[in-house]
């Protein structure tokens, strides 16, 4: 079963707008990561946020983590057509052998 | 550029045949993952290794799937016998896991398997 669930499943916005994707998870985590996947390609790591962090920035990306609500959000500011891709959150659990478990992803489309 | 290399990129096989997928992780990485991606199930973790030792293969159908790391430069995923429901894209990823477990995974381009 999936640990992380992204919301929405699909998002379509105009170029220049901000895109926000959410991820909820079920059990306590060591860290949470966001990945991007272009069609037909492998996933690319975007950002990692540790369980003791609340917010992290990388360029146009902003990630928040609320461990009390077991949720995270990824904000992409000033979106570009090249940001069109699927975005996945992945969690590393505290329990067990620290495997990396992915959610179902959000399909983001940026319209020029 | 260091990258994870997967072969073959595409594989079409008949039901019942053995399929072997190979992965060369990034040199120096100590963790290797195998994932399967389908539209219905998304990304499923099949197995993963740390320092070549299997840590978790609970996501893998044991009767037909097997995963091994014969050495640090090669990971294999075998399906025998293959079935049409195994059709999917199989990804290998590698990473360097430190003491606090923060593994950033680097993905290969995947093997697209079609079983007819």
For residue A100, what pLDDT band results from cuts at 50, 70 and 90?
confident
Contacts of B100 in chain A (CB under 8 A): 30
- The predicted pLDDT at position A95 comes to 66
Residue of B nearest to A5 (CA): B42
**Given B42, B100, B105, which is nearest A100 (Cβ)?**
B105
Q: How many beta-carbon pairs under 8 angstroms link A with B?
A: 64
Do the Cβ atoms of B58 and B66 come closer than 8 Å?
no
Q: Which of B85, B48, B78, B76 is nearest to B63 (CA)?
A: B78
Q: How far apart are CA A22 and CA B22, in angstroms?
A: 34
Structure confidence by residue, pLDDT tens digits, B50-106: 999 998 888 898 899 999 999 999 999 999 999 999 999 999 999 988 766 678 899
Contact B102 A92 (CB under 8 A): yes
Two tokens, residue A30? 């060591």
Nearest chain A Cα to B59, which residue? A1
């Amino acid at each position: 079963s999936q640990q992380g669930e992204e919301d929405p499943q699909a998002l379509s916005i105009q170029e220049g707008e901000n895109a926000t994707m959410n991820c909820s998870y079920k059990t306590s985590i060591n860290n949470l990561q966001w990945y991007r996947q272009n069609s037909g390609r492998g996933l690319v790591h975007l950002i990692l946020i540790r369980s003791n962090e609340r917010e992290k920035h990388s360029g146009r990306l902003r990630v928040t983590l609320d461990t009390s609500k077991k949720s995270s959000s990824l904000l992409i500011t000033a979106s570009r057509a090249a940001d069109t891709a699927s975005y996945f959150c992945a969690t590393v659990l505290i329990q067990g052998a620290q495997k990396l478990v992915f959610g179902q992803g959000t399909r983001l489309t940026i319209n020029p | 550029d260091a990258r994870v290399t997967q072969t073959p990129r595409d594989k079409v096989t008949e039901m019942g045949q053995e399929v072997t997928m190979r992965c060369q992780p990034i040199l120096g990485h100590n963790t290797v993952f195998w994932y399967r991606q389908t539209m219905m199930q998304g990304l499923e973790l099949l197995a993963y290794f740390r320092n070549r030792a299997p840590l978790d293969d609970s996501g893998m159908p044991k009767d037909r799937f097997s995963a091994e790391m014969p050495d640090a430069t090669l990971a294999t995923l075998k399906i025998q016998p293959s079935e049409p429901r195994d059709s999917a894209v199989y990804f290998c990823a590698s990473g360097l896991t430190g003491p606090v477990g923060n593994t950033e995974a680097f993905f290969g381009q995947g093997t697209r398997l079609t079983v007819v």
